[in-house]
A = this chain, B = another copy of it.
Amino acid sequence: MTTTITCSQLSPALGDLEHNLTMTVAAIKDAVEHGSQVVVLPELVTSGYSFATAAEARAAGMTRNDSIFDDWIAAAAGAAVVIGGFAEVDEAGTMFNSAVLLDPAGGRTFYRKTHLWDREKSVFAPGNELPPVVPTQFGAIGLLICYDMEFPELTRHLALAGADLLAVPANWPLLEIPPIGEHPAEVVIAMSTARVNHVAVACCDRSGEERGQRWTQASTIVAADGWIASQSNGQTLISAELDLEASQTKSISQRNDLFADRRTDLYRLEDAAEHD
């Protein structure tokens, strides 16, 4: 059985919730019409990214009860899981760079980015919980947001927790041009993450320009073998059909298993809470 995964590399308008609502609903409908069963939207797709102040971000803040999630679920028409980023404000007024996973079966799972990038640190509070792995009818989906993926402890944690697919809403700021022939560094990291954990990875970057900031625009879906299944070369919608069950075997040779071969007698990766 294969699962059709889509990344919608949208260009949200900064602070324009209404525009972004219309845009994301249309993108989800479009993806589902193309047969998508897992739709990944960018980080902060409801709000845009380049806030000058915390107050500006707060004006674009949403609670977990925001009606946009009902609209996304309706747009998915029972056919697809939707993952996307939003600027979350909690009851105390604290802002988080968050993502939601909406399951057509009704579940809603939230995650607050735990590794904040650069000026996000002056706008958002970091999340204080490890990312979830959400069982869905299409497989177990682990959530990460952008810079989170650069921490191998976190990607390993999700793989060990049973993730078949890492869904990664991202805004990859264009900070360097890769050497000729090379993928952007974020893509190299996604490929390696897939390979060493034998897990699929779907990174949804954004497009557009915002206050002079441009984006890498290289959304990439990587299969569990570490090779790219689909990559944006500027186009908004990319899709790949992946066998997500393949992520469940960690066997890579007759005598090797990526998880069983870990030398847990020599090193241990643990949830910090486990032995506090």
Give A residues with C-beta under 8 Å from B. Answer: 114-115, 117-119, 121, 126, 128-130, 147, 150-157, 178-179, 181-182, 185, 188-189, 191-193, 195-196, 226-228, 253-256, 258, 261-273, 275
Question: Nearest CB to that of A186 among chain B residues?
Answer: B195
A272–B268 touching, CB < 8 Å: yes
CA–CA, A196 and B150, complex, Å: 6
> Contacts A147-B256, A147-B261, A268-B271 given; 4 further ones with Cβ under 8 A?
A150-B195, A150-B196, A188-B191, A192-B193
Q: How far is the CA of A154 from the CA of B269 in the complex (A)?
A: 11
Does A269 contact B267, Cβ atoms closer than 8 Å? yes
Output the least CB separation between A225 and chain B (Å). 8
Tell me the minimal C-beta distance from A117 to chain B in angstroms.
6
User: By the criterion CB–CB under 8 Å, are A189 and B196 in contact?
Assistant: yes
For the complex, give the distance between the alpha carbons of A118 and B255 in Å. 5
A118 with B272: CB separation less than 8 A = no
| B268 with A151: CB separation less than 8 A | no
B-side contacts of A227, CB under 8 Å = 178-179, 182
Q: Majority SS of interface residues in chain A?
A: mixed
Neighbouring B residues of A178 by C-beta, 8 Å: 227
A271 to B189, CA, bound (A): 24
Contacts of A269 in B (CB 8 A): 153, 267-269
Do A262 and B196 touch across chains, with their CB atoms under 8 A apart?
no
* B271 x A266 contact (CB < 8 A): yes
Residues of chain B within 8 A (CB-CB) of A179 are: 227-228
Q: How far is the CA of A153 from the CA of B188 in the complex (A)?
A: 18
Q: Which residues of B contact A261 (CB under 8 A)?
A: 115, 147, 151
A266 touches B188 (CB 8 A): no
Query: Separation in Å of the A133 CB from the closest CB of chain B?
Result: 14
A118 to B226, CA, bound (A): 20
Q: Which residue of the partner chain B has the closest CB to A274? A: B268
- Bound CA span A154–B265, Å: 12
